[in-house]
Amino acid sequence: MHFMYALQAAWQSRNSLLCVGLDPDPARFPAHLQGRPDAIFEFCKGIVDATADLVCCFKPQIAYFAAQRAEDQLEALIDHIHDRHPHTPVILDAKRGDIGSTATQYAVEAFERFRADAITVNPYMGRDSVEPYLEYADKGVILLCRTSNPGGSDLQFLEVGGGERLFERVARLVANDWNASGNCGLVVGATFPAEIARVRQIVGDMPLLVPGIGAQGGDIAETMQAGGNSAGTGLMINSSRAILYAGSGEDYAAAARRVALETRDAINAHR
């Protein structure tokens, strides 16, 4: 699968800019899954099967699997998405960042072991720390730019000369230099609509992954106003907890579908 083409196709065919984040927290699983050795896989599979026709992509967060020694369940989950829901891109949310030789290992982890179609990457270590991912030209490389958390301002909002703040410099570096193969995207939090608009101005039609609606408080209308591209797409608007934990019983997947549908439609109402 070519990530960028598959994403474009999913935006169109599913009429959706919604990304469902898969952050499985066993403490919040419904009772009938508690204690099962494959609970993480089964929980996420339920969410995926109930929402796949409503999303432009899925985004499993590797930390939730790693904390539970459940890398095998993450492998099985991504295999399941590829097998049962073809043409649905999977972004491995890993936010890796290391020197080239180590980044090469992380790229193998993400793209070969886990078979992800894209990965999130931290730009702090600069271009050569990102190149090993970029070399997989059919894979997506989504760089942190302006993150949705309060501390995001500590460094990203610093003025770095030329009238730019650090997140703007990252956006410009990625758009003008790192994106030579056209396989880059950026993470820009929904909690900062003015900065989404600024990033959109810098990067043209590049896809933006936007976390922060739902539990983190970002506003859908403002996000759409600020971030849509010239084709009325260009966004992967992520929701995790609000969808995953919409229900707490055996019908959790149906509850997740209802919230995913509402969220997709709320997004589309502003396109």
Those residues with Cβ within 8 angstroms of residue 63's Cβ, 6 or more apart along the chain or in another chain = none
Does the footprint of its own copies cover residue 160 (CB under 8 A)? yes
Of 127, 204, 249, 250, the one binding its own copies by CB under 8 A:
127
Query: What are 260's two structure tokens?
Result: 């995913």
97 touching its own copies, by CB under 8 A:
yes
Q: Does 221 contact its own copies by CB under 8 A?
A: no
Active site residue 95: yes
Q: Which of 55, 91, 170, 260 binds its own copies (CB under 8 A)?
A: 170
Say if residue 37 is exposed, middle or buried (CB neighbours under 10 Å; 0-12, 13-18, 19+).
exposed
Rg (CA), the chain: 18
14 to 33: interface string for its own copies, x by CB under 8 A? ---------x----------
* Region near its own copies per CB under 8 A, out of 2-10, 36-44, 58-66, 258-266: 58-66
* Interface characters, 69-88, with its own copies (x: CB under 8 A): x-x-----------------
DSSP E strand boundaries for the chain: 18-22, 57-60, 91-96, 118-121, 140-146, 159-161, 164-165, 184-188, 208-210, 235-239
Query: Is beta strand 164-165 parallel, antiparallel or unpaired with respect to 118-121?
Result: unpaired
Q: Cα(first)–Cα(last) distance of the chain, in Å?
A: 27
* Residues annotated catalytic, as ranges: 95
Sites of contact with its own copies (CB under 8 A) = 23, 61, 63-64, 66-67, 69, 71, 95-103, 105-106, 108-109, 112-113, 122-130, 144, 147-156, 158-161, 166, 169-170, 173, 211
